[in-house]
Chains A and B, each alone.
Chain A
Amino acid sequence: MTKTIRLALLASTLLGSAAWAQDVTLTIESWRNDDLAIWQEKIIPAFEAANPGIKINFAPSAPPEYNAVLNSKLDAGSAGDLITCRPFDASLELFKKGKLADLSDLAAMANFSDVAKSAWQTDDGTQTFCVPMASVIHGFIYNKTAFEELGLTPPKTEAEFFALLDKIKEDGTYIPMAMGTADQWEAATMGYQNIGPTYWKGEEGRKALIEGTQKLTDEPWVAPFRQLAKWKDYLGDGFEAQTYPDSQNLFTLGRAAIYPAGSWEIGVFGPQIGGAFEMGAFPPPVPAEGDTCYISDHTDIALGMNAATKHPEEARKFLEWVGSSEFASLYANALPGFFSLNSAPVEMEDPLAKEFVGWRETCEPTIRSTYQILSRGTPNLENETWTASANVITGAETPEAAAERLQQGLASWYAPQQQ
């Protein structure tokens, strides 16, 4: 695969240097190998039709290897012209090393809010190096058919949420909630980061933690762990050895009623369920009726330019297009669950995706608390949160002890938390 790409690139450079005008091929590095078909069938043809003379080649690698593969390709000078950007430090590091070009002056940047761009900016926010593409939203997906069968309605408050879980458990037909602790990240990402913003008040708490005015041992940060500790009773038998794909299958096979989710599941679940039951979604429940709800609307994916590209003009042209509303609606509809970060509103077709994105109107959005700055040192707060969340659910650690451990780890290297 890469060999043919390399040959193609070589061929195109050789031919390109010849006297006659030749198409320029831009290669995109990405970890979204699930999206290969969508890029080849929908996105690339739309761009190529409007921009004759530029060819796009989407060349993804496997998600867990992406960072390592990309780094070595960039070091070796064999990376593609366009680089799909991970949020925050992974990309910031590349920008600081001069591997990613500064894109602050791109006209399309005006189409994005500061929050949308924050994941791909220098700490002071003066330089932006990737064009934001999409975010993912956390919430709970539920089996609508099962809810109707049992006469249940989606909960709004914490109390309603647990009453609902109790009812499902009592009935016994369905596993109340599909989640396992074997992979650990499920517990942290779909658990802690999903329900947490409600307690730490979204951006307010996240920023306070970065400034050092709040600690992880403060009530807003321990409360989500207390909630997670209560989840244990509602997970399936043997949840300790249940992996992420197990949880997905339990839900899509209709054996579990609720799935703590990220919106990226929408595109996966739809075809798997194949109409066997209907899905609905509700945002993380609030502590008391009338409280403001907060959602994790996590900036997840963006596109940047390899600083060493041979075709900067064409690459910038493509990036301008990625920043346009045309791309936004194309992408958001091709990949329901990946929501456009473009300020221009996008009309979505998928009802479930619409439901998720609708929470942007009623709830306050924030991003995952551990991603910006706080995972720069060792021990890494994000990775520690995985273990802590899984431990709290299995009961290996109390919420207070887990929070205490996280705080100690963070304070061991992060100066603002040391006072």
Chain B
Amino acid sequence: MAQRKAFRWHIAVFLAPAVLVYTAIMIVPLFGTLNLSLFNTGEGGRVFVGLRNFATLFGDPRWSASFWNALGNNAWFFLVHMLVQNPVGVALAALLSSPRLRGAAFYRTAIFIPTILSFVIVGFVWKLILSPIWGIAPGMLDAVGLKSLFAPWLGREGTALTTLALISVWQFVGIPMMLIYAALLSIPDEVIEAAEMDGVTGWSQFWKIKLPLILPSIGIISILTFVGNFNAFDLIYVTQGALAGPNFSTDILGTFLYRTFFGFQLQIGDPHMGATIATAMFGIILLGVSFYLFAIQRRLRRYQF
């Protein structure tokens, strides 16, 4: 008989702090929210209603219109980030890693600084810059003779959301830039030298050698952007308020959740419907992340040097 292995206590002990803290501040509230969405206030306090809150959210024409509007806006918000923030981030990183660039450290810092600013500052600064009354944007456009291009972008239904998405891109472009920059720096010189020996230089070197090597980083950035965008709230709240005007054109899931959960002005908060929306958001993010993990992450080729 083989002797039973002694229970390895040290594993449990070392895991305990992280597990306990994570459970207390993440897992428990998460299940609390999921639980809350199955109840509603009825006669005599809280009653269990099963999935009826979800039926209201998706079945009631008003609730579902608000929800799909928020989801659609959120999708557009994400798309703008994917199409602008990440390619620009990659491009900046490629430029920064070029050995011929002077003052790379300065540019790196300057581009990264907005990321560490508070949403409140970014929101107010851009609101002021773009203000048709006091802003410097109309004046600057006027100076180059393009005043006619200026419009109160944040106030128009057609442009407000895209403008906000671009502001957010401006703020966060530093993150993909840094991650890609690090990935580019970690490409060994031998690989690049070998490519040069084979006559692969310039653009084709970027597309054929460097890009495949940084694809895993781009994947991580995409998933961070996805989670960040679908949890976004602050910037919209600061610049447009909880009603996400004009005419709900900038309403994303975060602001929709906030208005429902905490109430707004004369609207009294509804924690149960709020939790229902939060659960729906959780589901959407879970689906997105799972899709990435199972459909994309596994097919990414990784290269060992």
- Which residues of A are interface residues toward B (Cβ below 8 A)? 67-68, 88-90, 93, 180-185, 236-243, 246, 249-250, 370-371, 375, 378-380, 382-383, 386-387, 390-391, 394, 396-397, 409, 412
Across the interface, name the chain A residue whose C-beta is closest to B241.
A183
**Given A182-B155, A391-B247, A371–B266 Cβ distance below 8 Å?**
yes
Interface pair B245/A182, CB less than 8 Å apart = yes
- Which residues of the other chain, A, contact B248 by a CB distance below 8 angstroms? 387
Across the interface, name the chain B residue whose C-beta is closest to A386.
B243
Interface pair B132/A382, CB less than 8 Å apart = no
**In the complex, how many angstroms separate the beta carbon of B6 from the nearest chain A beta carbon?**
49
Across the interface, name the chain A residue whose C-beta is closest to B249.
A396
Question: What would be 9 A-B contacts, judged by CB atoms less than 8 Å apart?
Answer: A90-B266, A181-B246, A184-B243, A238-B155, A241-B153, A242-B132, A378-B270, A383-B267, A396-B247
- Which residues of B are interface residues toward A (Cβ below 8 A)? 62, 127, 130-134, 138, 151-157, 240-241, 243, 245-248, 262-270
**In the complex, how many angstroms separate the beta carbon of A142 from the nearest chain B beta carbon?**
20
Interface pair A184/B245, CB less than 8 Å apart = yes
**In the complex, how many angstroms separate the beta carbon of A324 from the nearest chain B beta carbon?**
31
- Which residues of the other chain, B, contact A379 by a CB distance below 8 angstroms? 62
Interface pair A250/B133, CB less than 8 Å apart = yes
- Which residues of the other chain, B, contact A242 by a CB distance below 8 angstroms? 131-133, 152, 155
- Which residues of the other chain, A, contact B269 by a CB distance below 8 angstroms? 68
- Give the CA-CA distance A387 to B243 in the complex, in Å: 8
Closest 4 pairs between A and B when the two form their complex, measured CB to CB: A238-B132, A240-B155, A241-B155, A241-B152
Interface pair A383/B241, CB less than 8 Å apart = no
- Give the CA-CA distance A237 to B152 in the complex, in Å: 8
Across the interface, name the chain A residue whose C-beta is closest to B264.
A383
Across the interface, name the chain A residue whose C-beta is closest to B240.
A182
Interface pair A383/B246, CB less than 8 Å apart = no
**Given A238-B132, A246-B133, A396–B246 Cβ distance below 8 Å?**
yes
Across the interface, name the chain A residue whose C-beta is closest to B62.
A379
- Give the CA-CA distance A67 to B155 in the complex, in Å: 28
- Which residues of the other chain, A, contact B266 by a CB distance below 8 angstroms? 88-90, 370-371, 375, 380, 382-383
8 extra interface residue pairs, beta carbon distance < 8 Å, beyond A93-B268, A383-B264, A391-B246: A90-B266, A238-B131, A240-B155, A241-B153, A382-B266, A383-B243, A383-B266, A394-B246
Interface pair A412/B154, CB less than 8 Å apart = no
Interface pair B243/A246, CB less than 8 Å apart = no
- Which residues of the other chain, A, contact B62 by a CB distance below 8 angstroms? 378-379, 409, 412
